[in-house]
């Protein structure tokens, strides 16, 4: 990529509102950066249709045993990995079904790996190593929309027949054109020119929150607006789990605690046991048979 190609990118242009930021005190800097961040939600508002399309299509793949594979370089790749990791404690999604791939491997999570993002071959190798298949969802992230590693992931995903989703901040980019669904908010130039961990990164984080939450809701991992697959790994989450059972079943805490314990601390299975009067073994079998989608077993009107 030559200098002209870089400077023509929306994410690399100079911001006329911040050219004097170096002369400002800390209070002024904080106010200016915050005011610039208002552009993020407005930009995302314009691409909610694309996000909705991605949710619908990705949820279908996920319910057909497809995996959510986030892939990218630098800040974008780390944001994808973070979103994937959070799906396990929040929704009980196994790490084998939602994970991140970073240009440069796991060490790139904590340090820059020189040249990794420029390798198209590396993306293909990384996806081959996880046996990418046509049920999978490739969520490729790049602020510019033209990072070779991230673009190659889209191209290889298309070849395999996977659903490909680009989360980018330049709509007229190779990744936007190559992907099945392009989510491309235009957040404008960064406060510090080219520092795409700021507005572009924040936009990508917000989009991933909406996208993955929507997929989980569509896949039956949420009941009403409650996290019925939360992993009770500490005292706070145990208390939250019991409270969720109380709220859904309208029972007292003692009853909710008994259901929680009888279900081996699995809220969703406890709901099935209570509503359908089943043993733990039968409820768990039904839960797994329906791909952990509680809505297929117990509707919210029951």
Q: Which domains does the chain have, with CATH numbers?
A: 10-218 (3.40.50.10490), 235-296 (1.10.8)
Q: Which of 117, 155, 190, 246 is catalytic?
A: 117
pLDDT tens digit at each of 302 positions of the chain = 554 455 557 677 788 888 888 899 999 999 999 999 999 999 999 999 999 999 999 999 999 999 999 999 999 999 999 999 999 999 999 999 999 999 998 888 888 776 778 889 999 999 999 999 999 999 999 999 999 999 999 999 999 999 999 999 999 999 999 999 999 999 998 878 888 889 999 999 999 999 999 999 999 999 999 999 999 989 999 999 999 999 999 999 999 999 999 999 999 999 999 999 999 999 999 999 988 888 889 865 55
**H helix or E strand, kind and range, residue 99:** strand 98-102
pTM: 0.89
Give yes or no: 86 in active site: yes
DSSP letter, residue 226? B
Give yes or no: 117 in active site: yes
Please, which residues have CB within 8 angstroms of residue 222's CB and are 6 or more apart in sequence? 91, 216, 228
Q: What is the residue-wise DSSP string for 23-91? A: G--HHHHHHHHHHHHHHHHHHHHTTHHHHHHHHHHHHHHHHTT--EEEEESHHHHHHHHHHHHHHHHHH
Q: Which of 12, 28, 45, 86 is catalytic?
A: 86
């Amino acid at each position: 990529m030559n200098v002209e190609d870089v400077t023509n990118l929306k994410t690399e242009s100079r911001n006329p509102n911040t050219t004097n930021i170096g002369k400002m005190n800390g209070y002024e800097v904080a106010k200016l950066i915050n005011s610039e961040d208002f552009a993020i939600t407005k930009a995302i508002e314009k691409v909610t249709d694309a996000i909705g399309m991605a949710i619908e299509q990705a949820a279908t793949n996920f319910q057909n045993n497809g995996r959510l594979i986030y892939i990218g370089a630098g800040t974008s790749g780390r944001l994808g990995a973070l979103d994937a990791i959070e799906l396990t404690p929040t929704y009980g999604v196994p790490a084998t079904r939602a994970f991140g791939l970073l240009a440069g491997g796991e060490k790139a999570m904590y340090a820059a790996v020189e040249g990794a993002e420029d390798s198209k071959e590396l993306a293909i190798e990384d996806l081959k190593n996880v046996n990418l298949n046509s049920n999978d969802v490739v969520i490729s992230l790049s602020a510019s929309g033209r990072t070779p590693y991230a673009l190659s992931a889209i191209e290889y995903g298309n070849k395999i027949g996977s659903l490909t989703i680009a989360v980018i901040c330049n709509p007229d980019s190779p990744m936007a054109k190559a992907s099945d669904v392009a989510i491309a908010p235009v957040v404008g130039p960064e406060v510090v020119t080219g520092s795409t961990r700021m507005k572009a990164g924040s936009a990508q984080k917000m989009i991933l929150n909406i996208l993955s939450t929507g997929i989980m809701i569509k896949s039956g991992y949420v009941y009403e607006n409650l996290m019925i697959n939360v992993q009770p790994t500490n005292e706070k989450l145990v208390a939250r789990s019991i409270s969720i059972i109380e709220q859904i079943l309208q029972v007292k805490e003692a009853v909710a605690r008994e259901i929680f314990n009888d279900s081996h601390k699995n809220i969703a299975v406890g709901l099935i046991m209570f509503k359908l009067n089943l043993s733990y073994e039968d409820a768990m079998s039904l839960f797994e048979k329906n791909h952990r989608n509680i809505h297929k077993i117990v509707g919210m009107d029951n």
